[in-house]
Each structure stands twice: as C-alpha cells, then as structure tokens.
Amino acid sequence: MIQKIAVSLLFLITISAFSQQEKINNYKYIIVPDKFDFFKTSDQHQTSSLTKFLLAKKGFVVFLSTDKNIPKELFTNKCLALTATLIDDSSLFMVKNKIELKDCYGTILYTSAVGKSKEKDYKKSYHEAIRNAYNSMEDLVYNFIPKKENTNTEKVMAASKVVTIPIAPVMEEVALKKNVVVSDVVIPSVQIETLYAQAIANGFQLVNTTPTIIFQVFATKRKDVFIIKDKNGIMYKNENIWVAEYYEKGQLVIKKYRIKF
C-alpha cells in the first residue's frame, strides 16, 4: 500500500512539473526587477544585470524593469512576461539565493535550488550564489511555444455537423503577392535567405553566397540557441527555420533564415 501511494505521489509530482514546464514555454519574455526587495539601490552589486544575462542564455528574451526598448506588445500587456525574482535567505557568514519565475498574477511556476557562497566580498559572493542557483536550473529546458489560438479555422455548427472553414490559405495567397500589414505586424514574403555556417571558436560565422559575413553566433547551454555577437539579441531554431531577434536603433528586428551547417 505504501509503495502504491509513493508511486502515485511521484506520478502527480511528475505531471505537475510537466504542466509548469509547458506553461513556462508559453512565455517569450522575462522581466527582471531593476532592484530586488532586499537591496537599497538599483542593480546593487549588478545582481539584476547578472540575472538578466544568465536567463537570456536559456533562450528567453529578457528585459530589466527599467528598460525603455521593450516591444510594444509587452509594453501594453505585462502578462506576456514572467517575472524573475531573486529570493534572499542569507546569513551572517553565507549568501544564499534562489531564482523564482512568477506569472503576472504572482503564481510561482519555477524555483531553482538555493545557490550559496562564502566569499567575503559582497559582490563576488552574490554573483557566485546567483550563478550556483542558475546552474541548478538544468531541468528547465526552455523551448518557446506560443499559446494556441483558434485563428486558423472557423467552426460552424450546421445540421448537427461541424463544418471547418480554413482561412489560413487565403492569408498565404495574399502574402505571396505582397507584404501585408495586419495589426501593425508585417507578414513578409516567402523568400527566406539561406546562410552557410563556418565553424569558429565557440560558435559559427554565417555567410551568404557573396560571401559576406552576416552574423557571428556563439553557443549557449541551450540546444539550437545562439547569442549574436555585437547585437542585443539571440538566434534560435523554430522547426526548420532559424530566427534572429535583436535590437537595432531601439527597434526589435526579427529575421528568418535557412542555415546550411
């Protein structure tokens, strides 16, 4: 009996963890407070900046709460982002931190293990503790999956039967002829440039047929997620297409490529 109860509890915990992971994957953005509650000044010891940097390595698009260049959709709806909070449980001789990810309603979706440090220098100690907390997040394998919305079909009930009317092909036919603006979002033409990957230290340089170097990208711990050199952005794989997202003159730029490795 005890064994059956233990197995049932383990099953429920596994299902709960999977559900939380699935919810996290629905979020593209993370906001990191510019000042954590237990500090007196903004970005004290560069703790906020370090937390932002580390979470970006997971593949998230991360902003500090004071950043001015956030996307319009996030500016108007903060519930599109998770909030990363640093929880402090330090003692006199040891800094202890853990990272929590919460939705806009305050529901905790993920908590890291406690990162610890006995460094005497405060900045070094907090940095070591935060990095140790981040290193415990190996079980958080992030892969952005937009929430499904019923925008591709319209279902009509008629004569006790469900008739599905596809609407996506209409949009595709229009998009083939020219760029179409729908709710301030540009649907680009179907032409996707092909780049060729050439190995460099810790990553690749991506060139076109000229050949001209378009990007240099560096590997992260996340499979199929790279940091773009000299740009505030990342490159990640979405099915068979590679997507580059970065900021240029304060504007978010999104470009898609096919890459031959």
Alpha-carbon dihedral of residues 75, 77, 81, 83, nearest 10 degrees? Answer: 80
Reported as a pLDDT band with limits 50, 70 and 90, residue 190 is low
The helix (run of H) or strand (run of E) holding residue 124 is helix 122-135
- pLDDT of amino acid 232: 82
- pLDDT of amino acid 173: 47
- pTM of the entire predicted model: 0.51
- pLDDT of amino acid 22: 65
- pLDDT of amino acid 6: 42
Short-list 100, 131, 107, CA closest to 23: 107
Cis link prior to 188 (omega < 30° from 0)? no
**Picking from 14-28, 154-168, 221-235, 238-252, which range would have the lowest pLDDT averaged per residue?**
154-168
Phi and psi dihedrals of 165, rounded to 5?
A: -105, 105
- pLDDT of amino acid 170: 42
Q: What is the pLDDT of residues 128-151, one digit of tens each?
A: 999 999 999 998 888 888 876 544
Q: How many helices (H) and strands (E) does the chain have?
A: 5, 17
- pLDDT of amino acid 171: 45
- Domains in the chain, start-ordered, CATH in brackets? 2-139 (3.40.50), 192-260 (no CATH)
